[in-house]
A and B are shown apart, each in its own frame.
Chain A
Amino acid sequence: MLEIEKLRVIFPDRKNFIFKDLSLSIPSGQKVLIVGPSGSGKSTLLQILAGLIPSVIEVPLKADRLQVDSNYGMVFQDPDSQFCMPYVDEEIAFVLENRQVPSREMKEKIQRILARVDLQLEDIHTPINQLSGGMKQRLAIACALALQPDVLFLDEPTALLDAEGTKQVWDTIKSIQDEQTIVIIEHKIEFVSDIVDRVIMLDDQGELVADGSPTRVFQDHKQMFDQFGIWHPSSWSDYLVSRTPQHKGNDRTAHTLIELDSASGYYHKNREILVDKAVINKGDWIAITGPNGSGKSTLVQMIMQLINTKGSIHYFFAEQNLPIYQKIAFVFQNPELQFVTNSVYQELAFSLTSKDTDKKAKIKEHLKRYRLEQVNDHHPYQLSVGQKRRLSVATATIKVDDIIILDEPTFGQDAINTFMMLDCLEELRQKGITIVMVTHDQQIVDHFATKEWKIDQGQLVEEKYHDLFQSEKVGVSSHAL
């Protein structure tokens, strides 16, 4: 039984309460989903229910009653910052050591736990950094299970995974659940709805606005799901209906911007990507797809001339005396790395050169277009996830207006931010800007891309035109490998 009564939480330097007199009780064995917009304090609530706040994380808090269960396991969002050891077996052993399991029993227990989460490894002594995101998260579940918990807390465990990894993780969670209480935070409720028997909804003020069975809450509050940007099974269809359909055909007469001919990209001395023949035309929206590690990011880095290349890549646009990587707008996966100043406004100003006229108007226009007016004096690092992403696109597009390349820009974003981003990009494309985007999202490929480049094992294997719905195999002969 988890119980809180009249909980008050406020973060230092903030005016508003995260929670003001929130009460909640979760009986043992219940499977609960907590949903809400970003900033509603879901993670904070989870950490309070686990007792991590205030014992480990210091946050001002008071409550009339606070009953937590110290026998819990937790899975966090980021696969890369929840392990303290380099190898799979060592990480689970860390948990077993904490529970003072005798060392001779460990090997066998590790194997049993890994089997439970269906993580089949040839050798349990496998480096964690060789696992895929989905496998890492299943290892995190294994660690939580090794604690033999009464309560399992899952804090958006699939937010940073691709579709395949997401499915693996939820399948695993379905298969392991039994008596224990499970509390889940998730933005994509498609997979979760048949696991949970209760849904709790928080609004952006941290107020409890809905509480009931999944079907009830989904039916009665569907509009709020959209408003909060939570992914649900009909998010995409609703969005596609609402938006004015845009013509997205390929204009074959459009002039070529970039032409690749037997181009290959190298890291150190290894060839990581090979493209036999491909062109990027004005007005294209090219979606680059393929499995993890197949070379998608390497391909865009090659086009950007950020890595060593061989073969030929021709660029047919604006003659300026600049290196290629400054003539193409580029948005990195982690937007923070692109920020170089102390405020949103300065960030945009930085992109403009002294030659640019009418700087102020230009910045103002971009602030407006990307809905950043309210935060124009904030430090870029202090923005929300969606704002950071928009700012990174804004800094790129304010400077260059031929072509923009984005590396998984919708990754880990909620529905509102994803759709806002797509609208922005489509608007740019209508103005004649070419878009090249690495993505895992089939919906984007189907509804926005004019061309799809499929990458597999370091090669462009297929170029698919989306106006004609016909597949044109790219002539890459197998001996090229």
Chain B
Amino acid sequence: MHFELNYQQTWLHLLHPVLKFIIVLVLFIAILFIHNPTILLYLLIGFGVLYIGWTGHSLKLISLLSIPFFIIFVSSATSMMFFGEGNTTWYQFGLIHITEESFYRGLHLGFRGILFGLLGLLFALTTRPVLLFYSSMQSLKLNPKYAYAFMAAINLLPIMVSEFQNLRNALKVRGVTYDRGVKGFYQRIQRFSIPLLAQSIRRAHRTAIAMEAKQFSNDRTYYYQVSYSLKDLYFITLIVTIIVFSIWLSTIYPVFPVDNVRMD
């Protein structure tokens, strides 16, 4: 697993991490209160452009990471489309009951699923965890013991990943076999989880002791001083513009015939 991917730093990387996080959080809550699929579609286009153009990662990685979006869309949408409640029946076969209302509600859920995934990636691809935790300690007064534990644990993960590969080889060499089906799946997880958990607990324990030996203290100064800049203002303006524009467009060009997918 590569935690240090090659990328071009863009202005999105230079935003204040906590502020960026809060904006994403507010967007998330705001989107929960949008019940009009047309608005979501326009938002999706707006943030999609930002995601494709300005995360600074290669188009190859971006397209690779986008593959799940399609599955998210289908999976979020189908249940509601086929089994949701509604009055205007389009199709019925056995348990499947597609109504106009449930169809658009499903579509809406699909858009929303993609949008959340996209916003999450937009944040994850442009934020170094270390800076996020430094700025959380400074702006949100996050207790350093949680912040540093998190950074230390992230640091230990690549070792776990290479250990996982060694373990896979070791189990092959020992001739470990698995049953078929669910039972085999259980055996597999058990074979892998016990050694990996044991190793990582020990390693985390050792690291924790090493951190104490470095006289870990909650009263501290900070190597990285995270501050706000004009870019943060631009970012907020851009986000507000995308939202306002999407709502406005939805009134002029309503792509879908419904403007509220919830039933009262």
Contacts and interface: CB of A to CB of B under 8 A. Distances in A.
A298 B198 CA distance: 26
Contacts of A82: 206-207, 210
Interface in A44-58: 47, 50, 52, 55-57
Interface stretch (A98-106, A114-122, A275-283, A360-368): A98-106
B221 interface: yes
Contacts of A334: 163, 166
A442 B128 CA distance: 44
A309 interface: no
A147 interface: yes
B175 interface: yes
Contacts of A86: 3-4, 130, 151, 154-155
B222 A97 contact: yes
A101 B217 CA distance: 12
A147 B215 contact: yes
B211 A127 contact: no
A81 B216 contact: no
Nearest to A396: B173
A11 interface: no
A100 B221 contact: yes
Nearest to A77: B206
A85 B151 contact: yes
B156 interface: yes
Contact of A395 (B169, B174, B221): B174
Interface in B11-45: none
Interface in B193-220: 195, 198-199, 203-204, 206-217, 219-220
A325 interface: yes
B209 A57 contact: yes
Interface residues of A, number: 57
Interface in A312-331: 322-323, 325-326, 330
A129 B158 contact: yes
Nearest to A130: B4
B191 interface: yes
B219 A95 contact: no
Interface in B151-175: 151-152, 154-156, 158-159, 163, 166-167, 169-175
B92 interface: no
Contacts, number: 138
Contacts of B152: 83-85
Contacts of B206: 76, 78, 81-82
B148 interface: yes
Contact of A84 (B151, B170, B172): B151
B225 to A, nearest CB: 6
B166 A94 contact: no
A332 B214 contact: no
Contacts of A381: 198
Given A96-B221, A98-B217, A351 B174 contact: yes
B189 interface: no
A401 to B, nearest CB: 15
B70 to A, nearest CB: 26
A399 B204 CA distance: 35
Interface string A29-57: 00000000000000000010010100111
State the 10 A-B residue pairs at the shortest beta-carbon distance, nearest first. A84-B152, A93-B223, A82-B210, A74-B213, A81-B206, A337-B170, A97-B220, A81-B203, A56-B212, A338-B170
Interface of A: 47, 50, 52, 55-57, 72-74, 76, 78, 80-86, 89-90, 93-103, 106, 127, 129, 143, 147, 301, 304, 306, 322-323, 325-326, 330, 332-334, 336-340, 350-351, 381, 395, 399
27 contacts: A52-B212, A56-B208, A56-B212, A78-B203, A80-B159, A81-B210, A82-B207, A82-B210, A83-B207, A84-B210, A94-B211, A95-B215, A98-B214, A98-B216, A101-B221, A147-B215, A301-B169, A304-B169, A306-B169, A306-B173, A323-B172, A332-B166, A333-B166, A334-B166, A336-B195, A340-B174, A381-B198
